[in-house]
Amino acid sequence: MSVSRILQYLLLLLGSFCAHAFPLVPASAQSAISIEFKDNGQTVKALSLDELRAIAPVASIKVFEVHENAERIYRALPARPVFDKVFGKGWEKAREIIFTSIDGYQPSIPVMKLLAHDAYFAFAHEDGTPFTLTNRLQNNEIVQLGPLYLVWDNTKSKELLDAGASDMPYQIKRIELKFMPPFPNMTPPARSSAEAQRGFMHFRQHCMACHTINGEGGGKAPELNYPISVTEYIKPEYLKRWIMSPQSIRYNTTMPGLTGAILDRETATEELIAYLKAMSNAKRVPANP
């Protein structure tokens, strides 16, 4: 082979490499991120998007996109077969699954819910547009959805539509099975009122994915209890108003108001405040993460 022929060949190789590499940069950067799977504190596997696509069938799923108030079609992997392959069937015996996002959002979803409804890990829009959305619940912020975005086959389920966006984490980087009741330091003392206990349920559903109590919960928004509880430094009437409609107090806040899906928002807000007050008497120094 002549030198020029070798050069030509090398150029060809380089050309085809570039043609593949450059248009794919954003996607390949995303698919290079591994998603960590943990079982009660132990890492079981770390898999890239490509590796995940090899273990479960890709589907197109139409969902009502709660963040945008419109229907969307995603390319996605069904969640249950992914869990079966990664954790084995034993995952169904877990109590909750904690999803952690790159931005610190951290919802904990009951396994019962994942068994009762079809959840999917979306990784692209069906129409090939960039994998982002405009989050009308967070001051219309444009957010990245990858590497994985948990969506639900919700178009025919009133229960799922009513749940709002709280169990739809995007930017998922870690998935952890919990067999024991999680969050002991967020749980109100056993002697707390029924009102505070109901408030704790609302807190779990609507607040803990972003906020921590005594260090437990999501890392996307401030701690609310330690060392000084929000019930101690925010005037009661403003605390209630903040929870129901934060933008009526701080114009550019990204905190969403308590979702409209809750039938009685005012009662729910009062119960939330009862819970926060109960926790102000149960402060614990947050453990180091």
Reference 175, options 263, 97, 92; nearest CA is 97
CA 192 to chain centre: 29
Among 56, 224, 278, 279, binds ligand HEC (CB under 6 A): 224
Total residues contacting ligand HEC by CB under 6 A comes to 21
Q: Is 186 in the site for ligand HEC (CB under 6 A)?
A: no
- Judged by CB under 6 A, does residue 204 bind ligand HEC? no
Evaluate whether 273 touches 237 at the Cβ level (below 8 Å).
no
Side-chain-side CA neighbours of 87 within 13 Å: the count stands at 24
Residue number, 77 or 272, with CB nearest to ligand HEC: 272
272 binds ligand HEC (CB under 6 A): yes
**C-alpha–C-alpha distance, residues 143 and 139, integer Å:** 11
83 vs 149 by CB, closer to ligand HEC? 149
How far apart are CB 121 and ligand HEC at their closest, in Å?
Answer: 20
Residues in region 107-146 near ligand HEC by CB under 6 A: 138
Using CB under 6 A as the binding rule, whether residue 67 contacts ligand HEC is answered as no
Phi, psi of 256 (to 5 degrees): -80, 145
Residue 136: CB atoms within 10 A of its CB come to: 16
Q: CB within 8 A of 249, min separation 6: which ones? A: 238, 241, 242
Q: Is 47 helix (H, G, I), strand (E, B) or coil?
A: strand
Q: Which two tokens stand for residue 202?
A: 């609302």
Residues 231-260 that bind ligand HEC (CB under 6 A): 239, 242-243, 250, 253-256, 258
Least gap, CB of 256 to ligand HEC (angstroms): 6
* Tokens encoding 46: 């770390």
Q: Which of 45, 53, 125, 220 binds ligand HEC (CB under 6 A)?
A: 220
In the complex with ligand HEC, which residue's Cβ is closer, 161 or 221?
A: 221
The answer to whether residues 47 and 86 touch, using CB atoms and an 8 Å cutoff, is: yes
In the set 67, 75, 204, 211, which binds ligand HEC (CB under 6 A)?
211
Interacting residue ranges for ligand HEC, rule: CB under 6 A? 138, 206-207, 209-211, 220-222, 224, 230, 239, 242-243, 250, 253-256, 258, 272
